[in-house]
Chain A
Amino acid sequence: MGLRKVLTPFAPDQSGASGVLYSMGALIVIIDAGGCTGNVCGFDEPRWHESRSAVFSAGLRDMDAILGRDELLASKIKSAVERIGTSFVAVIGTPVPATIGTDYKALKRLIESKTDIPVVPVISNGMKLYNEGEKEAYKALIDEFASDEPANETEQLIIGMTPLTYGRDHRDLTLDDIRNIRGAKKLIAASSSGIDACEYLGKEFVIESPVYKDRIPEGIRGKTLVCHDEVAGKTLRDAGVDCDIATFFKLHDCVKQDGDKKITEEDEFIEMVRYGGYDTVAADICLKELVPDYDGNWVDLKCFAVSGRI
């Protein structure tokens, strides 16, 4: 049904898209009336309070949406580009363009014709989760910028280590990293969206979380349920933790083992904890409210996309 009685909604796809693009020097335009941008900058983007970045709302009004005034949007973007130095424009979708059926390819062409700089459209709709938005952003960036003959050969690139998954431990990619991504000698997928991006590139990659690779969080013991991004769970498993993975986000076949589960509803998590016989639950502490009667060991594995705690 999609009913949440205890938890608040998790980070949506548009926040994921913005998180990937944030460090790349783009002029980011969220196609909304203002509320979605407020959610991104005021809540889902921890870097916002530390460094200013060019994240704008399209400032849509009802008649802009009803009449599909893409020309007006393109003009506003042109005006902003003229005043703000940027190498490219990223436009990020929200429920509004999803409802009115915005044609992103046409919008890209329209804005490019006015601004003469590349436009990267990310098709997100606020109804999917952040990892999907990150995936779409990586794909759009690769399509636009990844060179088949990269100028530099990077030793290794870590994909998908965004603040929404890793909080303060995030590692940003630059636009040059994307340009040279096909020349990277080693690709590391650090999260679910990292796996999707690496698969999209069609290159060999390693699935591991640099945060948990050499660090099993203190307190994990016995049979454990890890509820986080799938790569965090897999890395802990690879490090020797006897665990099942539960994730509200994507669970790829290349990670999934018996006992692992992609969960959607609050009740599914409650059921796993109640009947799974786990000695330890390693998950963001906000999930404990779902299972107040669980008296086993709980290790707080922060996930910004879940709780918004950095």
Chain B
Amino acid sequence: MKREAIYFTAEEIASHGKNSIPDELLSGKNLVYSSPATLAYNSPGAEGFGVKRAGLSVPESVMLIVAPGCCGRNTSLISSMPEYKNRFFYLEMSEPDLVTGNHLNKIPDAIKEVLSFLRDGGKKIPKVVMICITCVDALLGTDMDRVCKKAEDALAGGEFEGVKVRPCYMYALTREGRRPPMVHVRQTIYSLLEPMEKDARSVNIIGGFAPLENSELKEYLTLAGIRNIRQISTCKTYGEFLQMACANFNIVIDPEARAAAEDMNKRLNIPYIELTRVYSTDKIHSQYKALASVIGIDMDDSAEKAEADEAVAGLKSAYPDLKINVGECTNANAFELALSLTRMGFKVGEIYATLAPENFVYVKNLAVLSPDTKIYCNMEPTMLYYKISQSDADVTVGKDAGFYCPDIPNVAWNQDTRPFGYQGVRDLMNKIFDALKEAKA
């Protein structure tokens, strides 16, 4: 028995073709190895913005997790963050509940008790209660819209009348389905918006739950006469959040927000434009050009593009033979980033990521420029045997890559705030430079 992690080179994968990606690289074909690298993917509440944190991105909201105790267990990691104090509550499901569905009947009383608890503790009464349910109710086929409506009705006529109750589906079972949890939660959030008069000078940036780390996009929009650029993460109050309904158009920065944007288009008459986060400055330029054309403005991004290209050149000049390993626990599409880095003139030794067919195009191009780049699947069981000292890379990008190569300088690049555009490229180059400099020192 070979005790080693399975990998394929970019060339091997490209030669297999898009429809014959080896099973070892695909999700759903194997048991899932739970390296710390895959925990973020496995557990929607454990890392970054999973369903729980995402649901609570609505200002003045609290969450009642109605589920077996195991589903809420790791929430204490989040609860300890000051911004989530007194915002998570749990209604633990028992074995009889599984058979009788009685946990659903308890929800209205549980909500009243939570709201009373907050009132008695001198806390502000929330505007929204998110009900988070999990795999069990997915399998039971629970109609959560009805359950939430019933809970809202139960508040009518009392001191908590008007508090909205909405479902959040933490259905890990459906994460590769048509509406995965992170798609659904965005739809839930923006379903709270109600139609209002349009403001031609308002735009929403949707998709993220923490502010966009990008000043250039906002600058271009401001130059185009936009006065209000709203993101859910910068709305301080529920009232401010509701103002998102007056936007002239939405800019979608994460494909998982596409369904929510479609909903907003239909229900609130807000059209949307989608921008993808990429690390190729030429592609970024093309996207901004397309954006300018769609919204009918002139956009000069030459200065920002030059700055980003300069940052790339600076790193290249300081480290001409730089070899980088790239993971998927990062603010990037690992395959796109690997291809962009290769095109910048760097070497990419290894990629740790699950290869979805839509990313095959990057591997195909990578195979031409860097055929020997090794591609490992983070979830594949033999990653248990990945020898942490086997790589000869100079630096790694991604939290997971840092785990596999602990002795190599790492740029985790998985911060909550989202890098984007030229600024993303510039900041990443600078971070890599700093990590290498620090390691040298």
Contact = CB atoms under 8 A, between A and B. Distances in A.
Q: Do A and B come from one complex?
A: yes
Interface of A: 1-5, 8-15, 29, 32-44, 48-49, 52, 54-62, 65-66, 76-77, 79-80, 82-85, 94-96, 98-100, 125-129, 307-308
Contact of B69 (A33, A61, A126): A126
Contact of A5 (B3, B29, B89): B89
20 contacts: A1-B110, A1-B113, A4-B72, A9-B71, A9-B72, A14-B70, A35-B42, A35-B170, A36-B70, A37-B32, A37-B34, A42-B36, A52-B35, A76-B30, A76-B31, A79-B31, A83-B1, A85-B1, A95-B136, A126-B70
Interface residues of B, number: 68
B106 interface: yes
A54 B380 CA distance: 12
A127 B68 contact: yes
A102 to B, nearest CB: 12
A212 B98 CA distance: 39
B34 A29 contact: no
Nearest to B113: A3
Contacts of A43: 46, 73-74, 76-77
Nearest to B35: A52
Contacts of B138: 62
A83 B177 contact: no
Nearest to A60: B173
Nearest to A286: B76
Interface string B18-57: 0000000001111111111001011111110000000000
B381 interface: yes
B41 A34 contact: yes
B77 A95 contact: no
A29 B385 CA distance: 17
Contacts of A54: 381, 384
Contacts, number: 221
Nearest to A38: B43
B31 A29 contact: yes
Contacts of A4: 72, 89-92
B1 A39 contact: no
B176 interface: yes
Contact of A59 (B31, B45, B90): B31
A130 to B, nearest CB: 10
Given A65-B135, A95-B136, A127-B98, 5 more contacts: A1-B106, A3-B89, A34-B43, A42-B74, A66-B139
Q: Which 7 A-B pairs have the closest CB atoms?
A: A38-B43, A126-B70, A38-B42, A9-B69, A33-B172, A12-B70, A34-B42
Contacts of A60: 173
B234 interface: no
A17 to B, nearest CB: 11
A66 B3 CA distance: 35
A76 B28 CA distance: 9
Contacts of B77: 43, 308
Contact of B34 (A13, A38, A94): A38
A134 to B, nearest CB: 14
A6 to B, nearest CB: 9
A56 B46 contact: no
Contacts of A56: 31-34, 381
B198 interface: no
Contacts of A2: 90-94, 106
Contacts of B71: 9, 35-36, 39, 95, 126
B187 interface: no
Residue among A5, A58, A80, A96 facing the most chain B CB atoms (10 A cut-off): A5
Contacts of B46: 38-39, 42-43
Contacts of A37: 32, 34, 42-43
